[in-house]
């Protein structure tokens, strides 16, 4: 098989141009209102490392209690407590992969109605969210969508969260 010298002369300079682009990969967080709880958007450039975290659910309030013994919402906590639990699990998961909470660019929240309130507890979810974003430890925030759902996988779960983190390649 013969390779055209014209192709090589064209392909090599194009490939050389792509290398600096990969080295400059970045994530830009876009926030038009500095007081807003969430971002307007996150611009993730090509060549950026990313991790996609599957939906996570809360753990029992009592860490010694196995999931098989969860018999009520009180065992998992209200929406705020469950949000803190889930974000804590996401934090631990991404940190094991070399990411931080500041690297999160997108969260998707699925929130079920709290039967004690008769509705979704959006305020509780936001209160839990504030424990991880806009803090001294992590002054950043993320782009976020929240959906009210009829139910989650178990009867006592009030929130499930998916996450996407992105950071510059090393």
Q: Which domains does the chain have, with CATH numbers?
A: 25-167 (3.30.1330.40)
pLDDT, tens digit, 9 for 90 and up, residues 58-117: 999 999 999 999 999 999 999 999 999 999 999 999 999 999 999 999 999 999 999 999
The residue among 22 and 114 whose pLDDT is bigger is 114
Q: Is the pLDDT of residue 123 over 80?
A: yes
Tell which residue, 31, 32, 169, has the closest CA to residue 103.
169
Residue 4 has pLDDT above 60, yes or no: no
Distance (Å, rounded) from C-alpha 83 to C-alpha 168?
A: 28
> Residue 8: is its pLDDT beyond 50?
no
pLDDT at 9 over 70: no
The CB-side HSE value for 37 (13 A sphere, CA atoms) comes to 14
Cβ atoms 80, 125 nearer than 8 A: yes
Task: Say what the pLDDT of residue 5 is.
Answer: 47
- Whether the CA torsion 103, 106, 110, 114 is positive or negative: it is positive
Q: What angle do CA 139, 142, 146 make, to 5 degrees?
A: 130
State the average pLDDT over residues 131-151: 96
What pLDDT does residue 22 have? 38
Please state the pTM of the whole predicted model. 0.83
- The percentage of residues in the chain with a pLDDT greater than 70, rounded to a whole number, is 85
- The full DSSP string for 113-139 is EETTTTEE-HHHHHHHHTTTSSSSS--
- Work out the pLDDT band at 2, boundaries 50, 70, 90: low
């Amino acid at each position: 098989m013969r390779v055209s010298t014209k192709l090589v002369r064209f392909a090599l300079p194009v490939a050389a141009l792509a290398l600096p682009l990969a080295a400059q990969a970045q994530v830009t967080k876009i926030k038009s209102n500095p007081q807003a709880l969430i971002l307007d958007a996150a611009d993730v450039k090509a060549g950026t490392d990313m991790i996609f975290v599957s939906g996570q659910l809360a753990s029992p309030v009592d860490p010694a209690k196995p999931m098989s013994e969860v018999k009520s919402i009180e065992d998992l906590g209200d929406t705020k407590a469950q949000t803190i639990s889930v974000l804590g699990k996401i934090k631990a998961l991404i940190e094991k992969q070399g990411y931080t909470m500041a690297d999160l660019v997108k969260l998707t929240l699925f929130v079920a109605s709290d039967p004690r309130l008769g509705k979704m507890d959006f305020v509780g979810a936001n209160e839990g969210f504030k424990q991880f974003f806009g803090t001294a430890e992590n002054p950043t925030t993320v782009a976020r969508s929240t959906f009210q759902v009829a139910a989650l996988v178990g009867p006592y779960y009030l929130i499930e969260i998916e996450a996407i983190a992105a950071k510059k390649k090393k």
